[in-house]
Amino acid sequence: MNVYGYVRVSSRDQNENRQLFALYELSVPMENVFVDKQSGKDFDRPAYRRMVNRMERNDLLYIKSIDRLGRNYGEILEQWRILTKEKGVDIVVLDMPLLDTRRGKDLMGTFLSDIVLQVLSFVAENERMNIRQRQAEGIAAAKARGVKFGRPALSYPDNFQSIHHDWRQKKITLRQAADACGMPVGTFYGKARKFENSV
């Protein structure tokens, strides 16, 4: 039996140390700890896929909480089924002792595990949807206050009008015009279109 640990954080700037420390305390070998730094909306994650491919029947997987496995209700249930039923792997969710497939292998234990898993999976997906809604509301509120998103637009250089004129008169190429203004070709072309629409 091999022991594995799975860690997931939603973005590169989030800290995975709390999850790693929990696995360290359980003496999970570090070469069997797999870490993904991406959203839990689906299971298309490189470290997770590598781990599942390595696992064999009777191996044991530790995860800190169900939302670290994922945040999509249907997909969490499907992955749980694949791991426990198809691959024959045991799973322990550290923050929820009822979700420990090593014990309660009888009908009642399985029934309780399934109910708890469904409730927690639903909560994980619901939280993901709430996060998206809060983000959308926050962006809308910021826009209403006049906050601008994205990079600030580059202003026209002093020589833009004359360069633009020469380019339109075919005295210089698009590339030469962009270089003369110190811009990428795409930026110069976009500015030219905007300039032409404003006059």
DSSP letter for each residue of 105-162? -SHHHHHHHHHHHHHHHHHHHHHHHHHHHHHHHHHHHHHHTT---SSPPPPPPTTHHH
Angstrom distances, CA of residue 12 to CA of 36, 164, 196: 9, 42, 42
User: Active-site residue 39, yes or no?
Assistant: no
Whole-angstrom distance, CA of residue 179 vs CA of residue 89: 60
Residues recognised as catalytic: 10
